[in-house]
Amino acid sequence: MMDNVIAIEERKGPFQIVFQRLLRMVPDREKGNKNLQRLLAFRLEVDGEAATVEYLMRHIRDYIKCDQRLSLYDYLKNAGAEHRCAPRSDPPPETA
């Protein structure tokens, strides 16, 4: 089973640069989630940077609109299923 786990720390070179750039899009409280990092590393490796950035932007936009009881990883993991999230009770904060 451990052979299937993507060891992000062992990946060197251009992958780390692109991966760190991708992680800047992730909310601060979610950046330490290793499962999320592995999911994004997998998407990056399979789909490439442009498709992964588009995927992440689309889902983060929807995630912000929802009441965020799930972690971003759980939200992305279930992204194939139709999300029936409760709307936020307060408006999302303005972003730069």
What pLDDT is stored for residue 56 in this prediction? Answer: 92
List pLDDT tens digits, range 85-94.
655 555 555 6
pLDDT by residue for the chain (96 residues), tens only, comes to 456 665 666 666 677 888 889 999 998 889 899 999 989 988 888 899 999 999 999 988 888 887 667 788 988 888 655 555 655 555 555 655
Dist CA 10 CA 1 (whole Å) = 17
List pLDDT tens digits, range 39-54.
998 888 889 999 999 9
Average pLDDT value for the chain: 79
Domain limits, the chain: 2-77
Nearest to 26 by CA among 75, 83, 69, 67: 75
- Residue 66's beta-bridge partner residues? 87
**pTM for the whole structure:** 0.71
